[in-house]
Structure 1
Amino acid sequence: MPSPSGSSTLSKPTPRFASIGSPFFGIMLAIMAVVLILSNIGASKGVVLGPIITDGGFFLFPLAYILGDVMSEVYGFKVARKAIITSFALSAFASLCYWVIIILPGFDDDYGVAKQAAIEGALGPVPQIVLASLLAFLAGQTINSWILVKMKERTGERTLWARLMGSSVVGEFVDTLIFCSIAASVIGISDVGSFVNYVLVGFLYKTGVEFIFVPVTVLVVGWIKKREPSYGAVAA
């Protein structure tokens, strides 16, 4: 219908989402929580691959962001935020369990003492890693989810690949900078050059992995949308 000025009024696309009613969200939430807990343990180990400095959780963490993208696209920002908070509550609980395990009295023979030292070395730094991961992922993933949903409000169901890539760049940069700033000392990074290497490699690697998996993410999103009974019934 023409507007008073004579120009056509373009209707804004209405973003569609699903409610939490099928098993898909629960499965993705469980996987995200497990990935975060494992990556927090792995991140306590510094890893050197030639000129590349990273940590032991590098191959796991991008999966959490991919799952966050899927949940944001299918269920919307509020549901994705709940998933982020729930995952990190479970990570904090796991960290508390590690602390209890460490302080419990163990056997005082040589094997028991060696085992205690190994456990302290492996799980002792995890609380600081969890703090770094909590602040970084909470900020980065929230920004990532918010940007993706805001872009969806403008484009509707079109250009999913652009939403996935655009939101990932910003979210991963914020995440990587915060995480590396807190976790660097735990894994043994103390000089500026190594820290810059750690940040850049982490950002480029995680963003690159997300970009490579965009076609797979698009397929997974489409698969879930078709099988999620309530998709399209929930507006932003």
Structure 2
Amino acid sequence: MSSLQSNASATTPAPKTGPRFAAVGSPYFGILLACMAVIVILSNIGASKGVLIGPIVTDGGFFLFPFAYILGDVISEIYGFKVARKAIFTTFALSIFASLTYWVIIILPGFSDDYGVAKQHALEDALGPVPQIVLASLLAFLAGQTINSFIMVRLKARQGERKLWARLMGSSGLGEFVDTLIFCTIAAPVIGIAGFGMFANYVLVGFLYKTGVQYVMLPITTLVIGWFKRHEPSYAA
């Protein structure tokens, strides 16, 4: 009987273990979520300004926004898809709140002297387009980051802890393309981008830049994820 049991145990494959993720009870998730929300809100403000650097057409939030995707990669790898989705929804709930706050600030009666009128016009010019920018960012980031996070987690289910670089690179391209296309389509009229050539420039530059930043930052992102895996108490070893 014992030999039969040993033979059976030898032929029975070991049960597969799912991908490891951490719980959100530690302070680390809150810090990541806060940083993502601040980056997205500031990017929305900056995106209301069109930027022309030589032949390159972009907006004022171009240098900051890719880091929101990098934080999304970290959250997806450490905490999983469900938590990443909650982070996305929370970030944009805060973005909507910020946009409503700008609207209230603009409609509040200001001083009637020349300085007060000038400040009112400046606020309207700077923050007035932000609601449409937030709408563009909401739809774009919701779609792009969800795709990015979903691919990250699905690849992790297949690869386990191995090939983190492949997950980071594989998820970035499609997510960033969807994000850039949706955002540029909605935000271009507000920024002042007109004509197909200028629009195509805006989309192409945005996509290449965002994806390029993520690829360049790949070694640092890998180190950051490794640090969180070692220090996050609930991440199973």
TM-score normalised over the length of structure 1: 0.94
User: Are 1:64 and 2:68 an aligned pair?
Assistant: yes
Could you tell me which residue of structure 2 aligns to residue 37 of structure 1?
41
Structure 1 position 65, deviation (Å): 0.2
Could you tell me which residue of structure 1 aligns to residue 138 of structure 2?
134
8 and 201 in structure 1: CA distance in 2 versus 1, 3 angstrom threshold: farther
Could you tell me which residue of structure 2 aligns to residue 159 of structure 1?
163
* CA distance in structure 1 between the partners assigned to 2:23 and 2:100 by the alignment: 32
Structure 1 position 8, deviation (Å): 9.5
Could you tell me which residue of structure 2 aligns to residue 190 of structure 1?
194
1:197 maps to amino acid: N
Specify which structure has the bigger relative contact order, considering alpha-carbon pairs within 8 angstroms and separated by 6 or more residues: 1
RMSD over equivalenced CA pairs, Å: 1.8
Contact 1:2 1:9 in 2 (8 A): no
Structure 1 position 21, deviation (Å): 1.3
Could you tell me which residue of structure 1 aligns to residue 18 of structure 2?
14
Structure 1 position 232, deviation (Å): 2.0
- Per the alignment, in what secondary structure is the counterpart of residue 233 of structure 2? coil
Could you tell me which residue of structure 2 aligns to residue 219 of structure 1?
223
Could you tell me which residue of structure 2 aligns to residue 74 of structure 1?
78
1:23 maps to amino acid: P
User: Are 1:200 and 2:204 an aligned pair?
Assistant: yes
- Per the alignment, in what secondary structure is the counterpart of residue 186 of structure 1? helix
- Per the alignment, in what secondary structure is the counterpart of residue 110 of structure 2? coil
User: Are 1:112 and 2:116 an aligned pair?
Assistant: yes
* CA distance in structure 1 between the partners assigned to 2:226 and 2:69 by the alignment: 17
- Per the alignment, in what secondary structure is the counterpart of residue 51 of structure 2? strand
* CA distance in structure 1 between the partners assigned to 2:228 and 2:138 by the alignment: 28
Identical aligned pairs, as a percentage? 74
1:140 maps to amino acid: G
* CA distance in structure 1 between the partners assigned to 2:87 and 2:81 by the alignment: 10
Structure 1, unaligned runs of 5 or more:
none
Task: Give CA deviations for 1:94-141 in whole Å, capped at 9, x if unaligned.
Answer: 000000000011111111111100000000000000000000000000
Structure 1 position 12, deviation (Å): 4.8
Structure 1 position 190, deviation (Å): 1.1
More helix by share: 2
188 and 143 in structure 1: CA distance in 2 versus 1, 3 angstrom threshold: same
* Residue in structure 1 matching 2:154, options 150, 155, 166: 150
Could you tell me which residue of structure 2 aligns to residue 121 of structure 1?
125
- Per the alignment, in what secondary structure is the counterpart of residue 190 of structure 2? coil
Structure 2, unaligned runs of 5 or more:
1-5
2:180 maps to amino acid: T
Structure 1 residue runs of 4 or more that deviate by more than 4 Å after TM superposition:
7-13
* CA distance in structure 1 between the partners assigned to 2:69 and 2:33 by the alignment: 12
Could you tell me which residue of structure 1 aligns to residue 3 of structure 2?
none
Task: Give CA deviations for 1:47-93 in whole Å, capped at 9, x if unaligned.
Answer: 00111000000011001000000000000000000000000000000
Could you tell me which residue of structure 1 aligns to residue 174 of structure 2?
170
Structure 1 position 10, deviation (Å): 8.4
User: Are 1:50 and 2:48 an aligned pair?
Assistant: no
1:182 maps to amino acid: I
* CA distance in structure 1 between the partners assigned to 2:201 and 2:25 by the alignment: 44
